[in-house]
Amino acid sequence: MAGREFTPEEANSALRQVRPLAERMVEVRARLAELEGEQREVVRIVAGNGSGAGVGDARTPEFAQLARELQELLDELALIGVQVKDAGAGLVDFPSVRAGEPVLLCWRVGEPAVEWWHRPEDGFAGRRRVDF
């Protein structure tokens, strides 16, 4: 785990900056999913009438703008030192060290604070309450 390491206190302090970015990331990802679904429907309809015309033009300017915004949000979070694990769920990890071992402090949109950690190999399912 190269890069910044956070104490639990530092991770919670960083939430002032991370929370609004992560909340917007979830909103943008949800809208992109809606637009992807709409595009699949357009492709199905167009393909159903035997014509391939227009299928490549199904992406909207909104989709392109949101895709750029999502990338910008991911980049901002990376600059802070946060690892995005699931953009749709707003799940992020803060690299940390516990008893000399690399761990990840785990937080997701909707949680009040960074209160969980896990080993990198355990993932979200291996979350434990912060005790250090």
> What is the DSSP track for 99-123?
TTEEEEEEEETT-SS--EEE-TTTT
* pTM exceeds cut of 0.75: yes
pLDDT at 53: 55
Return averaged pLDDT per consecutive 10 residues of the chain, 132 residues in all: 86 98 98 88 66 58 94 98 97 97 98 98 95 90
pLDDT at 1: 43
pLDDT at 122: 95
Phi, psi of 123 (to 5 degrees): 65, -170
Exposure of 58 by Cβ count < 10 A (0-12 exposed, 13-18 middle, 19+ buried)?
A: middle
